Structure 1
Amino acid sequence: MFREDATLEHTNTAEPSRRDFLYLATGAVGAVGVGAVAWPFIDQMNPDASALALASIEVDISAIEVGQSITVKWRGKPVFIRQRTEKEVSEAKAVKPEDLPDPIARNLNLEANAAATDVNRSAVGKEAWLVMVGVCTHLGCVPLGEEGDFGGWFCPCHGSHYDTAGRIRKGPAPENMLIPPFQFVSDETIKIG
């Protein structure tokens, strides 16, 4: 049946067929179609213009008297801005971080492990000013100002007491209230964010 002198040549140099082209073109159109369908779903996850506009705000603090607080909204959360009295500042400075339930400052302007001293909870050279996100770190309630056992903030929902530097002193809250990124643009204006 087989001849010994017969040589079989097998070459694999066939030209691409029309079928190969149709497969590639169909795959490319399908990939573009999937991308076109997926893009609106991906794009809707981006923050809207109103959220981007609130990424940073400037607050005029010229009308805030010593011992007064205001609440502003930043990124959908309340931010307490308080010009503390000398008594409030001295009481807060007297507390040692190691005596606190949360010895970390939680100040986004400092290193993550900065101690919760009063100076690390306020602005350098502007220690009377306290700027913090007004949300209880237990379950996200909004604490009441100038309340509680330490004269700072009190969350009536579950009984968390914060001092005049916004540090947790008593109750179920695990952390001090957060200090957002902020800076003094001038003596009368604070930029948050």
Structure 2
Amino acid sequence: MPRDHHRPVHFTDAEFAAIKGGEDPALVNRVAHETANALLHRVRQDPDPAVVERLVTYTDVHGIEAVAELWARVGAHTLPGALWRIYLMRTVIRQNPDEIAYLFTRGTERIGTIDQAVAGAEQPTGPAEILTLADSILHGLYTGDFAVALDRGAAFCRLAAAGATSVADDSDLTAEERASVLTVRAFRLAELAEDLSAAAALWRRDALD
């Protein structure tokens, strides 16, 4: 969890070159943790709506690669790793909201858990509602209960994974290639859900750094 002693982080050109080239894993790890802690601490202390909105839509302007460059190469159960996974989840949703909404809805029909309530998507859940959900979860990281936002992301991923598995099973005999793609997607979404749940638990123990 961000601590009060964090200050804005500044890096030399050489340090950024090392990060980009992946030449120094220790430096990549340090920069990822320091930028994530500094950013989150600063925004959560003073959650200016305009600043939060720019952060939520940052990848729409600069691409997911800009976030990946900083945070994608560290462990899943870390603060930068958790932030990266929520941004990645939002990008996946925005790339194909129609299909993701369908998989999410299929998942809610397939498994009877509290995940639908935890995720907090409006019902019925179409493309517009699933896009709103993605933004709402990311907003929650900066302005709400951080662990709850991670839990919402995990719940969404579990339901979408269940939906992808269900559709893959239906397609197995008639559309083998689509079934294979959906099976891989289900696995990745399920893995993402596990990582986000673990990060939420660590945050609640003040152990997500």
The answer to whether TM tops 0.5 is no
Higher relative contact order structure (alpha carbons within 8 Å, sequence separation ≥ 6): 2
Q: Which has the higher strand share?
A: 1
Q: Which has the higher helix share?
A: 2
What TM-score do you get using the length of structure 1 for normalisation?
Answer: 0.30
